[in-house]
Amino acid sequence: MTSTPIRYRLAVASRAVAAIAGGYAVAALSAAALALALPAWTGMARSEAVLTGTLASFAVFAGAVMWVFAARTALRAWAGLALSAAVLALPVLLLGGGGA
Amino acid sequence: MNTPTFFTLAFTASLSGFCALGLAMDRHFEDVFGRGREPGRWRRWLQLAGTVLLCVSLAASLRAAGSSIGWVLWFGVLTAAALIVVAFLSYAPRRTPWLGLVSALAALGGLPFTFVS
Amino acid sequence: MKEGFRQSMAWLHTWSGLLVGWVLFLVFAAGTAAYFRDEITLWMKPELHALPHAPVAQAQAAERAVQFLQQRGADSPRWFISMPTGREPLVGVLWTKPAPPAGAAPAGERPRRARFENASLDPATGDTAHAPRATRGGDFFYRLHFDLHYMPAIWARWIVGFSAMFMLVAIVSGIVTHKRIFKDFFTFRGKKGQRSWLDAHNVTAVLALPYHLMITYTGLITLMFLYMPWGPQAAYKDRGGEQAFFAEVFPGGGRDRFQAAGEKAPLAPIAPMLAQASAHWGGAAAGRITVHHPNDANAVVAITRAEGPRLSYDQPSMQFNGATGALIATYGDVPQAAAETRGVLYGLHVGRFANPLLRALFFLSGLAGCVMVATGLLLWAVKERQKYAKVLRKGGRIGFGLRLVDGLNLGAVAGLPAAMAAFFWANRLLPVGLAERAAAEIRWFFIVWGALAVLALLRPTLRMWQAQLGLGALLFMLLPVLNAFTTTHSHLGATLRHGPGAVAGLDLVAIALGLGLASAVWFVERKRRKTLALKHAAKAPAPRTPGEPEALSQGLATSGHQP
């Protein structure tokens, strides 16, 4: 097989890490965010919100993975993940840790 | 009308429905009726009949197994019926219209009972 | 990845599928077999085939079980009783051994966890039913598909969960990338090499697509608290942690809630409790009875409703005071929306609500899933081989990656079915009194699979495909014959007439699987002859027209494997 350029391999590796680790992080954050935000914003029972967030998190994971490989550059892939993570982290930081 | 009969209806309806939908496609119409033949004005009727038959299959599945498990049953029946139609279209294309007709007759025979009793 | 969306999804689909394809094939194969786990277990216990199966009243079966447990497990902290069902005619009892008092273990040795013992009882008499041979039965396949084997369960569940997530990505990216999903809905063009593999992959994927999406997603859901504990952790951080969450969602559970009082009190009769529970549930039967701290003043009897024609896996339960028989609480009568959703998703995966017909349809869809994974793996190898067409024509060899994939494909797709058949052969051939018999049967499964996998990696040729597929075909087709010779009255002739239906069914499915594998052997034979014919033509004196070598190499390339 012809050797593929090292840049391509690095880009693929970068996306793979982004997809697996970054995607998981975004999914985990979405589970936590929904679990905390839904009771605060809609009055849903806490256990219900946790279930909803966790059930949905796998779809979020799949979506994040697809985003990573659809983005035009590896950098954009990471940026998209970072942005989503930041947005999802807000409810976790504000509402988490006892309090509301 | 009891559950096994409803199940048979669900199956025959989806079998004939998929036959109709398959024959409505150029590629498969050609396989069955010869090169260059097109469904032409039959296409719309075949598509309509196919869709209606699939809906009948859904109604029968819901009657057979209830309002939630009936959906699960329907998807399972659709898979089985579609696989059979693919097998016919690949290995015995010219018998596909017969399959469609026979199962459609069987389905129509049981149809009134789906909505009565 | 600078190509369009569809192309990048195609790339993603290929790699997410390939990297975990062999694990997924195992998961699909074992999981599909697990739909008939009770039936497989019955087939593997011929001693139970002749039992009369007149239905026994629940109260009587439960009382027999309690009598048994009072004799064998009177000082056990917990009893579990499974009521007989249509698919499992015996009463299952399990009792835990009390943990040794602290300090009883010699210094330096970790205290052993409480062990347990179990038995199967005839519901009418309460005897341990005819001592069937020790075997894991269908439960082996059930556990195999998420706990794998020979490794800690946690590792296996992470491996399987990782693969399932890859599978989910593969499905969704596959849908996105399949441009002509409606046009090609019924399309299967046989005998066209790579095109045929693609069509087979598409047909088995698309025609059972709702099933594949459902089974993959719900599979992740069944272990979702392992894979995604962040919701409970975040929301219950200062409210009692994950334990508090589980107590809310699964009320009435939790071993630690039940503390022994220390003073003895005879266990109240169980029949009235069963009657009350059944009346509360509109006449529905009980499925499971758990007795916490029997013969103690604080004993609690928890009765859970039987699985019935309801999608949700969660069943309501009721708890009674074990000494007085008074009702303590009812749980789960009106589940909340998200909890019910989870219950339904769990129930869809496990499929225990399915009647025999629906179960057969699930089995068919599961088989379609196995074919989908297998054709995907083989398709990749066929496509990759095309890149070596020139090299091969000059007498060169394929690269290491492709050869590895060839070997893994062979070992998985051809080797695994043969190993599954070998498991059934081991069940009939191993001596009944063998020590650790259940583990021995399982060991044979892995010995056969291991040997076939090694052979596959050493010589991934068409002949090896034929050998392994042929072995599987033979073992499956002859299984009913083996059954007839090794059991007295469970051969197909008898079971077709008076049952058990499960045993007849398994014999028949074995024949069908054997025929399927045999037709695969024939299919490989055709391919092998075609490849040989082309090779001889290529070695023939100089071709007449300059275009011929190209056509020949195209033929070689699409043949899939070297002989």
Instruction: Split chain C (563 residues) into runs of 10 and give each run's mean pLDDT.
Output: 80 94 97 96 90 80 92 89 88 85 54 70 81 90 96 96 96 93 93 91 97 97 96 90 88 73 88 94 92 90 89 92 91 91 96 93 97 97 90 84 95 98 96 92 97 96 96 97 89 85 94 97 92 80 51 39 42
What ranges do the domains of chain A cover? 10-95
Q: Which residues of A touch C2 (CB under 8 A)?
A: 72-73
What's the sign of the alpha-carbon dihedral C396, C402, C407, C413? negative
C407-425 burial, b at 16+ Cβ within 10 Å, e below that, comes to: bbbbbbbbbbbbbbbbbbb
> Is A14 within 8 Å of chain C by CB?
no
φ/ψ of residue C321, rounded to 5:
-70, 125
Tokens at C182, concatenated: 């409606």
Query: Is C294 within 8 Å of C322 (Cβ atoms)?
Result: yes
Q: Classify residue C228: in a domain, yes or no.
A: no
pLDDT at C547 (0 to 100): 47
Measured between alpha carbons, how far is C225 from C229 in angstroms, rounded to an integer? 5
What ranges do the domains of chain B cover? 3-115
Mean pLDDT of chain B: 91
Measured between alpha carbons, how far is B45 from B21 in angstroms, rounded to an integer? 10
Residue C416's domain comprises 5-44+147-207+354-558
Measured between alpha carbons, how far is C309 from C516 in angstroms, rounded to an integer? 33
Residues of chain A with pLDDT under 50: 1, 98-100
Helix ranges, C35-150 (H): 37-43, 58-72, 138-147
Best probe of the C interface among A4, A50, A73, by most C CBs < 10 A, is A50
pLDDT at C39 (0 to 100): 94
Q: Which residues of A touch C173 (CB under 8 A)?
A: 66, 69
Note if the bond before C210 is cis, omega within 30 degrees.
Answer: no
The pTM of the full predicted model, rounded to 2 decimals, is 0.91
Tokens at C102, concatenated: 């602290």
Tokens at C513, concatenated: 């699987």
Contact C217 A45 (CB under 8 A): no
Give contacts of A 68-97 with C, CB under 8 A.
69-74, 92, 96-97
Task: Work out the minimum CA distance from A42 to partner chain C, whole angstroms.
Answer: 14
Beta-sheet pairing, C300-305 with C91-96: unpaired
Alpha-carbon separation of residue B96 from B78, B89, B99 (angstroms): 17, 6, 5
Q: Classify residue C318: in a domain, yes or no.
A: yes
Q: Which residues of C touch B72 (CB under 8 A)?
A: 311, 348, 354, 358
Place of tokens 């199940």: B7
| Residues C527 and C411 occupy one common structural domain | yes
Note if the bond before C546 is cis, omega within 30 degrees.
Answer: no
Residue C80: strand pairing partners: C94, C290
| Three-state DSSP class for residue C478 | coil
Q: Residue C11 is nearest to which of A69, A73, A74, comparing CB atoms?
A: A69
DSSP string, C207-246: TTHHHHHHHHHHHHHHTHHHH-THHHHHHTTTTTHHHHHH
State the ipTM, two decimals.
0.94
The last residue of one of the domains, among C284, C300, C331, is: C331
Q: Classify residue C486: in a domain, yes or no.
A: yes
Q: What residue type is C405 in one-letter code?
A: V
pLDDT at C417 (0 to 100): 98
Which H or E run includes C82?
strand C78-82
What's the sign of the alpha-carbon dihedral C538, C541, C546, C548? negative
Measured between alpha carbons, how far is C40 from C138 in angstroms, rounded to an integer? 5
Neighbours of chain A (3+ CB pairs under 8 A): C
pLDDT at B92 (0 to 100): 93
Residues 6+ apart with CB under 8 A from A22: A64, A68, A78, A81, A85
Q: What is the DSSP letter of C85?
A: -
Query: Is C199 within 8 Å of C187 (Cβ atoms)?
Result: yes
| Residues C180 and C317 occupy one common structural domain | no
Cβ–Cβ contacts within 10 Å for residue C499, how many?
Answer: 14
Place of tokens 């024609």: C309
| Residues C163 and C270 occupy one common structural domain | no
Contact C245 A32 (CB under 8 A): no
Q: How do residues B16-62 score in pLDDT, each as one tens digit?
A: 999 999 999 999 999 888 888 888 888 999 999 999 999 999 999 99
| Residues C384 and C487 occupy one common structural domain | yes
| Nearest Cα to Cα of residue C463 among C385, C403, C529, C516 | C529
First to last CA, chain A: 59
Task: Work out the minimum CA distance from C173 to partner chain A, whole angstroms.
Answer: 7
Q: Residue A52 is nearest to which of C221, C230, C338, comparing CB atoms?
A: C338
| Three-state DSSP class for residue C320 | strand
Tokens at C203, concatenated: 């047909």
| Residues C310 and C453 occupy one common structural domain | no
Q: What residue type is C244 in one-letter code?
A: A
The tally of CA atoms less than 13 A away on the side-chain side of residue C467 is: 14
Q: Is the pLDDT of residue B102 over 60?
A: yes
pLDDT at C421 (0 to 100): 98
| Three-state DSSP class for residue C347 | helix
How many domains would you assign to chain C? 2
Q: Residue C342 is nearest to which of A51, A59, A69, comparing CB atoms?
A: A51
